[in-house]
Amino acid sequence: MSASPQLSLVIPAFNEVATIQRTLRAIREYLEPRGVTYELIVSADGTDGTREAAAALVSEMPVRVMGAPERRGKGRGVREGVLAATGEMVGFLDADYKVPIDEIEKVMPWFEQDYDIVIGSRAAAGANIRVRQPWYRRIGSKGFGMVMRPLVGLRGIQDTQCGFKFFRAEVARDLFTRQRIDGYMFDVEILSLAARAGYKVKEVGVAWQDDGDTRLKLVSGNWKNLKDLFRIRFGGRRAALPVPAPRA
């Protein structure tokens, strides 16, 4: 049996055919010269050809593809990808590459200081916002934080929603076998589960840029998010899901 890769990266995607190959190649071009062994797991829903575009790169890099034609939610996509991962460290970053892979240099040293989870942040010290969100999105984010933190209890985390998070493999497997939220609030759920389990979480500032594209509907999407926050707060302890076998 071949040795496990040092790093598993899950890339959730929904209709990202225009960006997915560029993102995967950027990751490869950063990791391979540094001698990092890795696997890329593209968890892509949609019918625009994202899965096919990612699968076309299997001769260039270790990439696996999963997903479905229907939109099932980012949380579900990340969960399925993480539970299929085989690396010693497991992380995820967005297919639209809002945070470049070289920001991982700010993440990995913290694992040597006994942290279990290290998350990228647009609000922590050292963050570099290269392209800001529109003003109404920034106001919405502040309002979200004012509701989320007292409701869920994550007062120590400044930015729960940055899509750049890394875990020790055993910690990722523990959390994602108990994670249930399929939508955007899965980040909050994971951090809430981590806090309840007593895992050490480090938040580090990263470079981030808005791409002008959002998949969140302001009214219906935020109403669903609010309901999911109540599910997180009052859901109680979750039994673990069965862990799927790694997919080819």
Output the pTM of the full model. 0.86
| Residue-wise pLDDT tens digits, 226-243 | 788 888 888 755 545 444
| Residue-wise pLDDT tens digits, 6-50 | 999 999 999 999 999 999 999 999 999 999 999 999 999 999 999
CA distance 234 to 224: 15
| Residue-wise pLDDT tens digits, 61-85 | 999 999 999 999 999 999 999 999 9
Q: Sheet with 201-205: list strands edge to edge.
A: 63-66, 38-45, 7-14, 89-93, 164-168, 117-121, 201-205
Average pLDDT of the chain, as a whole number: 88
pLDDT at 245 over 60: no
The whole-number pLDDT of residue 219 equals 44
**Can you tell me the mean pLDDT for 219-230?**
72
For each of the domains in the chain, give its residue range(s) and CATH number, in order of start: 7-234 (3.90.550.10)
CB 4 within 8 A of CB 88: yes
| Identity of the amino acid at 17 | V
CB 75 within 8 A of CB 182: yes
